[in-house]
Amino acid sequence: MKKMEQSDQALVEEGMEASIKKKSKISGSSINGWLFASPWVIGLILFYAFPLFSSIYYSFTTYSILSPGEFIGFSNYKQLMVDGIFWKSIYNTVYFAIFFVPLSIIIGVALAMLLNMRVKGMAVYRTIFFLPTLVPHVALAVLWMWLLNPGFGLVNGVLDAIGLTGPNWLGSVTWSKPSLILMSLWAIGQPVIIYLAGLGDIPQELYEAADVDGASWLQKTFKVTLPLLTPVIFFNLVMGAIGAFQQFTLPYTMTQGQGTPDNSLTFYVMYLYDNAFKYSKMGYASAMAWILFIVIMLLTAVIFISSKRWVHYQGK
Amino acid sequence: MSNSIFHKLMFSFCLVLVMVLAACSSDDEASESASGENTVEFWHSMTDTAGDAVEQVIEEFEKEYPDIDIKATYVANQGEGQNEKLLTAIAGGNPPDVAYFDRFEVATWAAEGSLESLTDLAEEAGISKDDYYDFAWDELIYEGDLYGIPTTTDSRLLFYNRDHFEEVGLDPENPPTTIDELEEAAEKLTIKDGNRFERIGFIPWFAQGSFYSWGWSFGGDFYDPETGEVTADDPKNVEALEWITEFGKKYGVEDIAGFTDSQGSGAMDPFVSGQISMKIDGNFGVASLEKFAPDLNYGVTPIPTPTGDNFKTWSGGWSVVIPKGANNQDGAWEFLKFFGSEEGQKIFSEGSRDFSVIDSVNESLGYTDDPIFSEFINILPESNSRPVMTAGSLYWNALADAVESSTRENGTPKENLEEVTQRVTEALEE
């Protein structure tokens, strides 16, 4: 008995020793890990976290990059509420997002389904539809300015040929935003690739089962393909909405930063940029940036909450 | 065992240290070689003929000051409201020693404390307002202090195509002087087919027809430097905008936009291709006409006014400034002095074909004898400069917005100009 007790105690002691050993090993290796990661961690704090949080503070000041400015509480936000161009830029941005995002999903999915058919030379077609994505935004703007030119642009030329008089696309307040939506839809290759991957992920046996049950093509599309594509649509909806709210390069290059005609192409981020770098009102611009951040956060939250109702994951 | 942890710790610590040191040391080297004692770093945005001209100025300067070495760097998008690179360089405490800078933004930047004051240096060197055109000097003064040395200027006039005038029975020797005559001529010169212009007589806002050009020509004013009052809604300015709006309505704003959207610059300029008969442009437009249409038969005349007299124009132009915190301010000042001196001005103005800010230089280069250039020079004494204020860029954009909104019938001219006054006044109060 005594022997047993002794050996038991030894065992317990040994176990304790082992656990101490283990502990010190863990803390040692995590210090090493942190040390190795430290350039990245320091960079993240210094170049992301610090500017991010200081911009909250700056949004309450008259900061202008060159001078630190004074603390003025909520006046930047109050002033924004009565700034006519601010509201106009919100209208333009929301208009663009409301039309562009759903259209890009409908056209993107339709295109992906077309490009998913088993036809000879599909790789070539897929490449063709992806190519516009590779065109830089500035080049895209210049190209479309020529295509949409009311005098000798290709688009109005085609319309003329079928007996229609095309509008002055980019020179008209009514048509400038639809033109921009059209241009943006042209470079839709990225989401199409994601949809294609999503389509490839749908198990073939579901279609076979549907065939056995005598489902038509329409039924298969709406009962099998689309529901199982919803996770991918969900992803593209979130990314598309965020991208639409940050629309900048295309209208900025097209109008040389002016948002012409009559501010109909002044988007939120363009006005933010003007305030920050042209009017040296960085505090005001910071306030705008945080409003945009909150709007995008809320919107994303709404999409996420609603996703429980309409997104169907496989195997659930 | 604890030894091995210690080794590992030391090793990773050293690795990080080496990386940090490596980053620092390469920085040190770079800044040392860039700001050596006699090197002046100079940022400018000039290309083409102006780019060559500034090279010549630098060459001559280095010949006269062999101990100073100018390191010129081309920076795209510097000036005209696009100074992001300079802005961040000054904020980061590592600016160039000299920057080529749009005069019209000097007040804004001086108010931010981002330019070195040159008042004492200029006084010591005996440089004063008397050496330059008044407006060019005044644009560089903010709250009594001098912040730059002017280098170029310009003015705006009405260009008209003599052949077109003869073709429709107008006298090319008697171009329009009143607004009514201008309108009449424009109507005769325009050839419209459906909603397309084969040729358009005139577009008020085309090229250099900014609202400053029209407001002053109609006898209005924009800013009272004494009281600091913004007067965008001056009754005369309202009258000018009402006229512009009427003009747009008559010819169809969207049709005009369709026309201007189809035009380019340089060889594609509609004045070169004969698609527009009259335009407001600056003397810098002459150089491109000489280059792309040497045979074009055209004349220039002051911008018409309602009464046919009291012709007005406005002038912009560039300057050289020393950004706040520049390393080699002594060398920079020597270069500024040389660039703004009669000698430097002669070299630059001759090469670039930009007007000098010194009257005698323009005369000695023969600009006053040239039938076209002399018109631009002669009006300089009557010239205005854009308001010297801290919200210059905002004022410019707000006026452009007001013209756009009014011609698109989004609010009346009076309402839109009142809004400009309010916006700019608010910005100045901050």
Residues of B in contact with A65 (CB under 8 A): 87-88, 91
Side-chain half-sphere of B132: how many Cα atoms within 13 Å?
A: 27
> In this predicted model, what pLDDT tens digit does every residue of B268-284 receive, in sequence order?
889 999 999 999 999 98
Give the pLDDT mean for A249-263: 88
A315 touches B at CB < 8 Å = no
> In this predicted model, what pLDDT tens digit does every residue of B311-355 receive, in sequence order?
999 999 999 999 999 999 999 999 999 999 999 999 999 988 889
The whole-number pLDDT of residue B35 equals 43
The whole-number pLDDT of residue B38 equals 86
Q: Taking 80 as the threshold, does the pLDDT of residue B82 lie above it?
A: no
User: Is there a contact between B230 and B425 (Cβ–Cβ < 8 Å)?
Assistant: yes
Work out the mean pLDDT of chain B and round it to a whole number.
88
Give the pLDDT mean for A92-109: 96
Give the pLDDT mean for B42-47: 91
Q: Which of B16, B19, B112 sits opposite A67 (nearest CB)?
A: B112
Whether A35 and B16 lie within 8 Å, measured CB to CB: yes
Which CATH number characterizes residue B107's domain?
3.40.190.10
Q: Count A/B contacts: CB-CB distance under 8 Å.
A: 98
Q: Taking 50 as the threshold, does the pLDDT of residue A208 lie above it?
A: yes
Query: Would you say residue B21 lies in a domain?
Result: no
| B70 CA: distance to closest CA in chain A (Å) | 26
Give yes or no: residues B329 and B398 share one domain.
Answer: no
B265 touches A at CB < 8 Å = no
Query: Would you say residue B25 lies in a domain?
Result: no
Query: Would you say residue B176 lies in a domain?
Result: yes
Give yes or no: residues B208 and B338 share one domain.
Answer: no
Residue that terminates a domain, selected from B384, B405, B420:
B384
Query: Would you say residue B107 lies in a domain?
Result: yes
For A164: left if phi > 0, alpha if psi spans -120 to 50, otherwise beta; the answer is beta
What are the structural domains, with CATH classification, of chain A?
A: 80-308 (1.10.3720.10)
Query: Would you say residue B149 lies in a domain?
Result: yes
Complex-level ipTM beyond the 0.90 threshold: no
> In this predicted model, what pLDDT tens digit does every residue of B171-185 receive, in sequence order?
999 999 999 999 999
Q: In the structure, what pLDDT confidence band is assigned to residue A9 with cuts at 50, 70 and 90?
A: low
Q: In the structure, what pLDDT confidence band is assigned to residue A236 with cuts at 50, 70 and 90?
A: very high
B191 touches A at CB < 8 Å = no
Whether B258 and A31 lie within 8 Å, measured CB to CB: no
DSSP string, chain A: -HHHHHHHHHHHHHHHHHHHHHHHHHHHHHHHHHHHHHHHHHHHIIIIIHHHHHHHHHTTB---SSS---B-TTHHHHHHHT-HHHHHHHHHHHHHHHHHHHHHHHHHHHHHHHTTS--TTHHHHHHHHHHHHHS-HHHHHHHHHHHT-TTT-HHHHHHHHTT-----GGGSTTTHHHHHHHHHHHT-HHHHHHHHHHHHTS-HHHHHHHHHTT--HHHHIIIIIHHHHHHHHHHHHHHHHHHHHT--HHHHHHTTTS--STTTT--HHHHHHIIIIIS--HHHHHHHHHHHHHHHHHHHHHHHHHHHHH---TT-
Query: Would you say residue B43 lies in a domain?
Result: yes
- Higher-scoring residue by pLDDT: B13, B48: B48
Give yes or no: residues B329 and B257 share one domain.
Answer: no
Query: Would you say residue B115 lies in a domain?
Result: yes
Query: Would you say residue B340 lies in a domain?
Result: yes
Q: Range of B103's domain?
A: 39-154+316-384
Give yes or no: residues B258 and B194 share one domain.
Answer: yes
Give yes or no: residues B369 and B404 share one domain.
Answer: no
The whole-number pLDDT of residue B284 equals 87
Q: In the structure, what pLDDT confidence band is assigned to residue A22 with cuts at 50, 70 and 90?
A: low
Give yes or no: residues B196 and B336 share one domain.
Answer: no
Give yes or no: residues B81 and B126 share one domain.
Answer: yes
> In this predicted model, what pLDDT tens digit does every residue of B123-140 receive, in sequence order?
999 999 999 998 999 999
Q: How far apart are CA B292 and CA B303, in angstroms?
A: 24
> In this predicted model, what pLDDT tens digit does every residue of B216-254 receive, in sequence order?
999 999 999 889 999 999 999 999 999 999 999 999 998
Give yes or no: residues B368 and B258 share one domain.
Answer: no
- Higher-scoring residue by pLDDT: B430, A17: B430
Q: How many domains does chain B have?
A: 2
- Candidates B12, B19, B261: best to mutate against A (most CBs of A within 10 A) is B261
| A152 CA: distance to closest CA in chain B (Å) | 8
How buried is A300 (Cβ within 10 angstroms: 0-12 exposed, 13-18 middle, 19+ buried)? middle
Give yes or no: residues B162 and B145 share one domain.
Answer: no
Q: Taking 70 as the threshold, does the pLDDT of residue B5 lie above it?
A: no
- Candidates A40, A46, A54, A66: best to mutate against B (most CBs of B within 10 A) is A66
A260 touches B at CB < 8 Å = yes
Work out the mean pLDDT of chain A and round it to a whole number.
88
Give yes or no: residues B403 and B372 share one domain.
Answer: no
Whether B259 and A151 lie within 8 Å, measured CB to CB: yes
Give yes or no: residues B190 and B215 share one domain.
Answer: yes
Give yes or no: residues B406 and B307 share one domain.
Answer: yes
